Structure 1
Amino acid sequence: MRALLVVNPAATTTSARTRDVLIHALASEMKLEAVTTEYRGHARDLGRLAAQSDDIDLVVALGGDGTVNEVVNGLLHAGPAPDHLPGLAVVPGGSTNVFARALGLPNDPVEATGALLDALRDGRERTVGLGLTSGTPGTEDEAVPSRWFLFNAGLGFDAGVVGRVEQHREQGKRSTHALYVRQAMRQFFGDPHRRHGTIVLEREGAEPVTGLVLSIVCNTAPWTYLGNRPVYASPKASFDTGLDVLGLSRLSTPAVARYVTQLLLSSPERGPQGRHAVSLHDLTRFTLHSKAPLPLQMDGDHLGLRTSVTFTGVRRALRVIV
C-alpha cells in the first residue's frame, strides 16, 4: 500500500518528536510519503493531487479538524467516488478532534496511530456521509464555491464565536475552552440579532422556518466536545443519514441560560428542547437565508459573511479507515 501523510506542523497536541515517532510507525507498515503543510489550503492541494494520482491508496491526515477538512475537500474536488478515490485515515492532533472522536478513534495521537494500523491489518473501513454547501442560485452568494464539511456547520451566532476565536489565534493565543467561553459571551452581548433572528430555513415540501438567531447543522453526534464531555446539539445526527439542524429563535439571557444548561446535560437520547428551539432530522437539502449578512463556519473554520447558503447531505461520500 502506498500512502500520503499530510502533516500539520502547527497541530496543537503533537510535538515534532511525537510526529517523527508516528511517521516511523506508519512507514513500517506501508510505503509512506510524508509532506508537511506550509500554507493555508496546502492540505487541500495535497488531497487533490492524491485524488488525481493513480498509485496512492490512502491519505492520512495528521492534525486537527481543519487539516482533515482541507484534505477531504481536496480528495472530493471532483465529487465523491468512494470506490475509486484513496481512502482517508485520521491521526488527531488538534485541540478538539471532533471528526476523529466521532468515528470512535482515541483522542491521543499515539493510541490513534495504533488503532489505525490495527484497522489496516484487519481491513476495517466504513463509508461515511458528508455535508456539502453551495451558493444559492439567484442570490448574491450564487458564485461562492461549493465546500464539503465533515461534522458541523453554522450560520449566525456560533459562527460569530468561531470568527472571534480565529482572530485571537492569529494573534498567537492558544485555542482553549476558556477562550471559546469568553468569545461566546462577547458575541452574545454584541449580537444585534439575538432577540429578533433574521435566518429563514427553506426546504422542499415544508413551510419555511423563520426568525432563527442561531442555526447549527450537524452531520454526526456529538456536535463538539468540552474536554472529554461530548455535547449533543442534534443527538440523532449520523454519518449514515442526511443532515440535522438545531435552530433557536431567541437568545435572551434566560433562554441562553436554559439552552446552555441543556447542552451541558445533553446525551445521545436528549438534546436542547423548548418553545424557541427547532430540531430537524435527516434532511437531504435545504437553504438558510438571512436578510442581513451573517458569519458562516464549517468544521470550526470561519468562512466570512453570507446571506444565503444551500446545504446538501451526501450519503456514502468517502471511505474512512476505522
Structure 2
Amino acid sequence: MVHLGKTLLVANPVSQNGNGAVAAHRAGEALRSRLGEDRFDLVMTEAPAHGKRIAEESAGYDTVVALGGDGLIHEVVNGLMSIGEAERPALGVLPMGSGNDYARTLGLSFDLERSLKQLESARPRLFDLGLCNGEYFAETLSFGLDAAIALDTVERRKRTGKTGTPLFLASGIDMLLHHIKEYRFTASLDGGEPFESSMLLFAVQVGPTYGGGFRICPEAKTDDALLDLCIAHPPLGIPKAVFIFLLAKDAHHTGFKQLEFKRASMLRIEFDEQPPAQIDGEPIPSLTYDVSVAAHALRVLVP
C-alpha cells in the first residue's frame, strides 16, 4: 500500500445501519499497520456535510479514502474539488452503503477485506465528474420518478433496515404504483436549440448505474467526457412502467420506445413545476438545472 502515500480515511460510522463504525476501525487498523502510524489518519463524520469539510482540508495527503455509501463519496468528492489540482489527493473507496453504485462502477467488492486488498493494488485513473448548479456528482443526477425513489429509500432504510437491491425494489414498486407523475420541461443540449417535452424520469449519469445497481445508462463511461441521459416519456401505464423498471436491473430496458437515450457534455433543464431531484442520492431542489461534465477532473483509485 506504499503507493497510497499519506492517507486519510474518512468514515461514516452510521452507514449501513451502524456497521460503518466497526468497519472503520477494522479498516483503520489494517491501513495503519501497512502504511505506518505517521502516514495514516482516521476521521469519523459527525453530521451531514462533515465529510465535505474534512476533505476540504486534506491537501497535505496523497490519498483520501471514503468508507461509507454514495452520500459520503458525494461529500468527499465536493471537498476534494475545492482543492487546487496540483495539491488534490486521489480518491479511494471502501464501500459501506446501501446502494454502493459508485463502488460498482469502480469494480469494488462489497466485502471489506476484499476491498482493502483491492485498494492495495489499485492505481489512479482520471475520472469525469458531473457538475450541477455548482455541485459535483460522481455517479448520478436525476429528476422525477427515479429521484423520488432514491429519496424515499433514505426514510425506508431507517424504517425497515433493508439495503441494496431489496430496498430500491420495494421503494420503486411503491412509487410506481402510487406516485407516478409527469413533468413538463424545456431543455437544451450542448448549447443547441431548446426543445420542450415531458418526462416521468430523467437520469443524467457519469457511471452506468443508480438505485443499487439498476443499469439505467448501461453504455455510460467514466472517462469519455460525456454525460449519458435516459429520459422516460409519457404515456406509460403502471403495468408497463413496473415491467420496464424491473428490466432495468440488468439493462434490458433500452429498446422501449418511451425511453430516449442521449449524450451531452452540457445541458440546461427548466421545469414548469419542481420535480423530485437527487444528486448522488441527496436532494437538490430547483426549477432550473445547469449541468456540465468536468472531464478527467479527479484521480480515482481503481483495482
After TM superposition, list the pairs within 5 Å mapping 1:132-147 onto structure 2.
132-134=131-133, 146-147=134-135
Q: Which residue of 2 aligns with 1:149?
A: 137
Task: Name the % identity.
Answer: 25
Q: 1:142-199: CA deviations, max 9, x gaps?
A: xxxx1111111101111112222223345574445444333333333443634xx323
Q: What is the Cα deviation at residue 246 of structure 1?
A: 0.3
The one-letter code matched in structure 1 to 2:218 is P
Relative to 1, partners in 2 of residues 1:177 and 1:258: Cα closer, same or farther, differing over 3 Å? closer
Conserved 8 A contact 2:148-2:175? yes
Q: Give 1:99's match in structure 2, choosing from 99, 102, 110.
A: 102
Relative to 1, partners in 2 of residues 1:265 and 1:63: Cα closer, same or farther, differing over 3 Å? closer
* Separation in structure 2 between the aligned mates of residue 180 and residue 231 of structure 1, nearest angstrom: 9
Q: What is the Cα deviation at residue 200 of structure 1?
A: 3.1
Q: Give 2:274's match in structure 1, choosing from 273, 280, 293.
A: 293
* Separation in structure 2 between the aligned mates of residue 265 and residue 93 of structure 1, nearest angstrom: 22
Q: Give 1:2's match in structure 2, choosing from 3, 6, 19.
A: 6
Conserved 8 A contact 1:48-1:77? yes
Q: What is the Cα deviation at residue 105 of structure 1?
A: 1.7
Q: Which residue of 1 aligns with 2:244?
A: 259
* More deviation, 253-262/37-46: 253-262
| 1:248 is the counterpart of 2:232 | yes
Q: Which residue of 2 aligns with 1:309?
A: 289
* Separation in structure 2 between the aligned mates of residue 319 and residue 165 of structure 1, nearest angstrom: 30
Q: What is the Cα deviation at residue 312 of structure 1?
A: 0.5
Conserved 8 A contact 1:220-1:238? yes
Conserved 8 A contact 1:131-1:149? yes
Q: Give 1:198's match in structure 2, choosing from 184, 191, 202.
A: 184
* More deviation, 288-297/11-20: 11-20
Q: Which residue of 2 aligns with 1:138?
A: none
- The alignment partner of 1:28 has SS state of helix
Conserved 8 A contact 1:26-1:117? no
- The alignment partner of 1:316 has SS state of strand
Q: Which residue of 1 aligns with 2:70?
A: 65
* Separation in structure 1 between the aligned mates of residue 109 and residue 196 of structure 2, nearest angstrom: 38
Relative to 1, partners in 2 of residues 1:103 and 1:209: Cα closer, same or farther, differing over 3 Å? farther
Relative to 1, partners in 2 of residues 1:231 and 1:170: Cα closer, same or farther, differing over 3 Å? closer
Conserved 8 A contact 1:132-1:147? yes
Q: What is the Cα deviation at residue 217 of structure 1?
A: 0.9
Q: Which residue of 2 aligns with 1:275?
A: 257
Q: Which runs of 5+ in 1 are unaligned?
A: 135-145
Count the aligned residue pairs.
291
After TM superposition, list the pairs within 5 Å mapping 1:8-47 onto structure 2.
8-12=12-16, 14=19, 16-30=21-35, 31-47=39-55
Q: Which runs of 5+ in 2 are unaligned?
A: none
* Separation in structure 1 between the aligned mates of residue 160 and residue 215 of structure 2, nearest angstrom: 30
Relative to 1, partners in 2 of residues 1:239 and 1:130: Cα closer, same or farther, differing over 3 Å? same
- The alignment partner of 1:287 has SS state of strand
After TM superposition, list the pairs within 5 Å mapping 1:116-131 onto structure 2.
116-119=119-122, 124-131=123-130
Q: What is the Cα deviation at residue 306 of structure 1?
A: 1.9
Q: What is the Cα deviation at residue 133 of structure 1?
A: 0.2
* More deviation, 14-23/108-117: 14-23
* Separation in structure 1 between the aligned mates of residue 148 and residue 99 of structure 2, nearest angstrom: 18
Conserved 8 A contact 2:98-2:164? yes
Conserved 8 A contact 2:20-2:67? no
The one-letter code matched in structure 2 to 1:62 is L
* Separation in structure 1 between the aligned mates of residue 100 and residue 151 of structure 2, nearest angstrom: 18
* Separation in structure 2 between the aligned mates of residue 177 and residue 161 of structure 1, nearest angstrom: 12
Q: 1:231-277: CA deviations, max 9, x gaps?
A: 321122111121011001123224303422431342xxx65232221
Q: 1:111-136: CA deviations, max 9, x gaps?
A: 111111223xxxx21010010101xx
* Separation in structure 1 between the aligned mates of residue 29 and residue 197 of structure 2, nearest angstrom: 53
Give the number of the structure whose residues are more often helix, by fraction. Answer: 2
* Separation in structure 1 between the aligned mates of residue 180 and residue 125 of structure 2, nearest angstrom: 43
The one-letter code matched in structure 2 to 1:213 is L
C-alpha RMSD of matched pairs (Å): 2.3
User: 4+ residue runs of structure 1 moved beyond 6 angstroms?
Assistant: none
Q: TM-score, normalised by structure 1?
A: 0.82
Q: TM-score, normalised by structure 2?
A: 0.87
